[in-house]
Amino acid sequence: KKNVLIIGAGGVAQVVAHKCAQNNDVLGDIHIASRTKSKCDDMIASVREKKSMKVEGVLEAHALDALDIEATKALISKTNSQIVINVGSPFINMSVLQACIDTGVAYMDTAIHEEPNKICETPPWYANYEWKRREICAEKGITAILGIGFDPGVVNAYARLAQDEYFDKITDIDIIDINAGSHGRWFSTNFDPEINFREFTGRVYSWQKGEWQVNKMFEVGKEYDLPVVGKQKAYMTGHDEVHSLARNIEGADVRFWMGFGDHYINVFTVLNNLGLLSEQPVKTAEGLEVIPLKVVKAVLPDPSSLAPDYTGKTCIGDLVKGSKDGKDREVFIYNVADHKDAYNEVGSQGISYTAGVPPVAAAMLVATGEWDAKTMVNVEELDPRPFLAQMSKIGLTTWIRDEQGERQIF
């Protein structure tokens, strides 16, 4: 058994808390820490209400500013945690990682580190911050699993599975992320607007022909016909996993595509062109200094409030092209998740669900030793099979569409 400290109390953390509770026979004590302790208390109330704890055990809330490395170290020691699942905002990654390195415990997160005052990070994403700690993790035998949400995360495992089982040579990996669900609001982002918009205000980077290619957001679009969700328009977007996959799956072009409706694109374009998505402070005529993006965030719906009314499905997967036994082939490895099912089970919408289940599956594999890498890794560096099998047991199945049609493989 390994005790877990969950950092953050947002949409993804809510799922992580429930899933840790449902598997606390493998994971042991569960501690939840965030800036606002009341949010952790609410999560604990939800876990109790849904009777998620598998066996009798510790479930506690703590107030923590995770930018304070010493405070984080003290909490890790006090709670005797052996695994930290960081699902707080991406601004805290490097301080939480440092606390884990100093206390010798396993670390995992679901996004790359970002600095609050900088526009969206540019490639090489992992090399900007996290990989600078790779050597020290190896030296000290620290397990650090980077980007273990759905994308990045599961899609990295899908790429590795494709390499291991379905191809001799991979030429293209197109990661496609479609949310075909509906939240019923006039406009909302599905997660923190600050993080969501940042992804799209910068330039779009993809890895093609052995180098970074640069495009503008919404410049390159394509219609995909996908299982369950059908025909969907997706646009090329920059994303963390493009970087690590480009390094680890040699010779492949790697692109990331996200589905957007025309309404989202219109609203985004207006806000962006007006300068309302800027993270640079502006002064009002009254002398008030405000950050436009923060104001936009303040007036938009809180993404976690969308969950009760969310309906429809997500489809996220890897369209992989290459050759096997001298023949060209193409496979799509994917998961379909349902917003309503997620809400009924753990009180969150489908996007949080698909991001929150993977780190818990990974934590269970760290606890059993199968994924206890004792160094810093991206997900595609680990054997995907035990992970996808574990995920299937705890809520996310894996499917493939190939020459023989569509079928579940995990």
Residue 187, class by beta-carbon neighbours within 10 Å (0-12 exposed, 13-18 middle, 19+ buried)?
middle
Q: Does 87 bind ligand NDP (CB under 6 A)?
A: yes
* Residues facing residue 285 across a β-bridge: none
Q: Does 19 bind ligand NDP (CB under 6 A)?
A: no
CB 6 to ligand NDP: min, Å: 10
Q: Does 276 bind ligand NDP (CB under 6 A)?
A: no
User: Angle at which helices 350-368 and 11-22 pack, to 10 degrees?
Assistant: 40
Six token digits for residue 153 = 């995360």
Q: Tell me how far CA of residue 158 lies from CA of 22, 212, 308, 322, 400, in angstroms.
A: 25, 22, 30, 14, 10
Among 98, 67, 70, smallest CA distance to 84 is for: 98
CB 236 to ligand NDP: min, Å: 18
Q: Does 192 bind ligand NDP (CB under 6 A)?
A: yes
Q: Does 195 bind ligand NDP (CB under 6 A)?
A: yes
Q: Does 347 bind ligand NDP (CB under 6 A)?
A: no
User: Which CB, 254 or 321, lies closer to ligand NDP?
Assistant: 254
Please answer whether residues 300 and 188 qualify as being in contact, where contact means their C-beta atoms are separated by less than 8 angstroms: yes
Residue 122, class by beta-carbon neighbours within 10 Å (0-12 exposed, 13-18 middle, 19+ buried)?
middle
- Judged by CB under 6 A, the residue of 26, 67, 71, 267 near ligand NDP is 67
Residue type for position 109:
D
Q: Which stretch binds ligand NDP (CB under 6 A): 2-10, 73-81, 329-337, 376-384?
A: 2-10
Query: Alpha-carbon distance 331 to 407, whole Å?
Result: 12
User: Which CB, 322 or 349, lies closer to ligand NDP?
Assistant: 349
Site mask for ligand NDP (CB under 6 A), range 240-269, x = bound: ------------------------------
CB 199 to ligand NDP: min, Å: 9
| DSSP for 118-166, written as a single string | SSS--SSHHHHTGGGGHHHHHHHT--EEE--BTTTBHHHHHHHHIIIII
Six token digits for residue 186 = 């006039």
Please answer whether residues 103 and 141 qualify as being in contact, where contact means their C-beta atoms are separated by less than 8 angstroms: no
CB 192 to ligand NDP: min, Å: 4
Q: Does 317 bind ligand NDP (CB under 6 A)?
A: no
Q: Which stretch binds ligand NDP (CB under 6 A): 5-13, 116-124, 329-337, 390-398?
A: 5-13
Q: Tell me how far CA of residue 342 lies from CA of 9, 73, 176, 406, in angstroms.
A: 17, 33, 21, 23
User: Which CB, 125 or 150, lies closer to ligand NDP?
Assistant: 150
Please answer whether residues 219 and 212 qualify as being in contact, where contact means their C-beta atoms are separated by less than 8 angstroms: no
Q: Does 395 bind ligand NDP (CB under 6 A)?
A: no
User: Which CB, 321 or 336, lies closer to ligand NDP?
Assistant: 336
Q: Which stretch binds ligand NDP (CB under 6 A): 190-198, 223-231, 261-269, 375-383?
A: 190-198
Interface size with ligand NDP, residues (CB under 6 A): 30
Q: Which stretch binds ligand NDP (CB under 6 A): 30-38, 123-131, 160-168, 276-284?
A: 30-38
Q: Does 191 bind ligand NDP (CB under 6 A)?
A: yes
Maximal C-alpha separation, the chain:
70
- Which residue number has the CB closest to ligand NDP? 10
User: Which CB, 153 or 322, lies closer to ligand NDP?
Assistant: 153
Site mask for ligand NDP (CB under 6 A), range 139-178, x = bound: ----------xxxxx-------------------------
User: Which CB, 63 or 127, lies closer to ligand NDP?
Assistant: 63
How many Cβ atoms from other residues are within 10 Å of residue 276's Cβ?
15
Q: Which residues contact 91 (CB under 8 A, 6 or more apart)?
A: 67, 113, 114, 115, 116
Six token digits for residue 139 = 């030296």
Please answer whether residues 371 and 362 qualify as being in contact, where contact means their C-beta atoms are separated by less than 8 angstroms: yes
Q: Does 359 bind ligand NDP (CB under 6 A)?
A: no
Looking at residues 102 to 141 of the shown chain, list those that interact with ligand NDP (rule: CB under 6 A): 110-111
User: Which CB, 96 or 137, lies closer to ligand NDP?
Assistant: 96
Positions that interact with ligand NDP (CB under 6 A): 8-13, 34-36, 39, 64-67, 87-90, 92, 110-111, 149-153, 191-192, 195, 355
